[in-house]
Amino acid sequence: MYRFFVSVLFLFIKDPETAHKLALFFLKIVGLFPFSQLTAFVAKTQKLELQQRVFGVNFPNPVGLAAGLDKDGGSAKGLESLGFGFLELGTVTKYPQDGNPRQRIFRFDSDRALVNRMGFNNKGAGALSRRLAHLKMNIPVGISIGKSKRTELEDAAADYRFSLERLYDHGDYFAINVSSPNTPGLRELQDKKFLVEIVSMMNEFRDAQKVRKPLLVKIAPDLSYEAIDEVLKVCEDGKIDGIIAVNTTVARLGVSRAATETAGGLSGEPIKKRATEIISYIHSKKPNMPIIGVGGIFTAEDAYEKIKAGASLLQVYTGFIYEGPLIARAINEGLAVFLKRDGYKSISEAVGKNKSS
Ligand SMILES: Cc1cc2nc3c(=O)[nH]c(=O)nc-3n(C[C@H](O)[C@H](O)[C@H](O)COP(=O)(O)O)c2cc1C
């Protein structure tokens, strides 16, 4: 049904960004009315075994929406009603910015993939803060923070700190995004010398607050294991509360020629395996570091694989676009079946169980 609807939609709309905007607009309307309670009733899976407390935050289920879809939080209430366990809004930057010229999202159906080069189009940290101040959310909200395009790499730490300050009261956790491929130089911020400074500036602010909120770092799938080791060391030293693995890739292994020839970050099925490998690696090195697993999750099987590899929480983006608005419910229902089948009483018991199974 959803696939049929999407095929018809794409007969009229050629640019996927227009389709995404239309969907977000629809969700914004849904979120305005009390009938979002009704859609929540349809989409929500309320199962005790899916609930978890991770880095001090209570999650009703492990399936979150990944950063980038609702950058400015305009459709947060509507997205909440689709049964997600949490949302990650953003990425936002200190300064509002338009991002790259359109067309900047590309669908590759035969690869089950997207390529995007959005370049952090967003209304800025201040605008998101004002929006969230009026919003009563019933699920945890993470906020992804990035560097403004106009800010030099050397000044990046202050730029990140600015956004954290603006948004601190409105997020349940904060993601330090140093891994998007579409802001020139951004991924260099994963290097130790920059990351140490960003983390310490953010900690300086956090330590001065009454409430300690979790800070996470989101990494690229293109990092070598040595580079991941270095990031993990900085994270541990800087009391980072979790890792989000992974962002989109600049690699183009095993995809169609059309996808190979399109510049930007690749997501979906082609990054699934690498994302899972990185999650396994991080979990084996730092078993106590919570991981949000993201990359190529379309089904409950994909989700369970990431949990068994070591992810406590999950996020979807490309899967949401391909599978449709009820993806969170479908994954949650499937996860509950797998947990029962394998004799686990809760999600947390299954996290990282690949090694022994
Ligand atoms: C169109 C698009 C925009 C994205 N924007 C962001 C972003 O602003 N910040 C971010 O951290 N990740 C962003 N991502 C990456 C996703 O959050 C996610 O890490 C990645 O797509 C892998 O997950 P997936 O295979 O489920 O899509 C974006 C992805 C897509 C497809």
Q: Is the pLDDT of residue 357 over 50?
A: no
* Integer CA distances (angstroms), 276 to 6, 254, 344, in order: 29, 17, 21
> Whose Cα sits closest to atom 11 in ligand 1?
67
Q: Is residue 249 part of a domain?
A: yes
Residue 82 forms part of a structural domain: yes
* Residue 35: predicted pLDDT: 65
246 C-alpha to ligand 1 centroid (Å): 9
Annotated catalytic sites, by residue? 180
**C-alpha 115 – ligand 1 centre gap (Å):** 10
Is position 217 within any domain? yes
- Max intra-chain CA distance, the chain: 54
Distance from Cα 67 to the centre of ligand 1, integer Å: 6
Confidence of residue 355 (pLDDT cuts 50, 70, 90): low
Torsion of CA 171, 175, 181, 187, to 10 degrees: 140
Domains identified in the chain, total number: 1
pLDDT tens, position by position, 213-239 = 999 999 999 999 999 999 999 999 999
Q: How far is the CA of 48 from the centre of ligand 1 (A)?
A: 29
In the chain, the amino acid numbered 287 is P
Residue 355 lies in a domain: no
Q: Is the pLDDT of residue 12 over 80?
A: no
Tell whether 106 is covered by a domain. Answer: yes
Ligand 1 pocket mutation pick from 65, 186, 248, 292 by most atoms within 8 angstroms of CB: 248
Within 10 A of 133 (CB to CB), how many other CB atoms are there?
9
**Does some domain include residue 225?**
yes
Domain coverage including residue 164: 2-350
| Distance from C-alpha of 19 to C-alpha of 321, rounded to nearest angstrom | 10
Ligand 1 centroid to 317 CA: how many Å? Answer: 6
Whether residue 331 lies inside any domain: the answer is yes
Closest residue by CA, ligand 1 atom 28: 68
Ligand 1 binding site (Cβ under 6 Å of any ligand atom): 66-68, 71, 91, 105, 114, 116, 118, 120, 144, 177, 180, 218, 247-248, 267-268, 271, 294-297, 316-319
Instruction: Tell me, in angstroms, the distance from the centre of ligand 1 to residue 69's CA.
Output: 7
| Element housing 339 (H / E) | helix 327-341
pLDDT of residue 354: 86
Q: Domain with 305 in it: what CATH number?
A: 3.20.20.70
Residue nearest to atom 23 of ligand 1 (CA): 295
* Residue 241 pLDDT: 98
How far apart are the C-alpha atoms of 103 and 339, rounded to whole Å?
Answer: 42
Residue nearest to atom 18 of ligand 1 (CA): 247
Q: Identify whether 357 is part of a domain.
A: no
Residue whose Cα lies nearest atom 22 of ligand 1: it is: 295
Which of 17, 267, 321 to mutate for ligand 1's pocket (most ligand atoms within 8 Å of CB)? 267
Q: Answer whether residue 356 shows pLDDT above 60.
A: no
Give the lowest-confidence range in 114-118, 184-188, 231-235, 296-300: 184-188
Please give the number of the atom of ligand 1 that sits closest to the Cα of 244.
Answer: 19
List pLDDT tens digits, range 267-325.
999 999 999 999 999 999 999 999 999 999 999 999 999 999 999 999 999 999 999 99
Q: Are 93 and 104 in contact (CB under 8 A)?
A: no
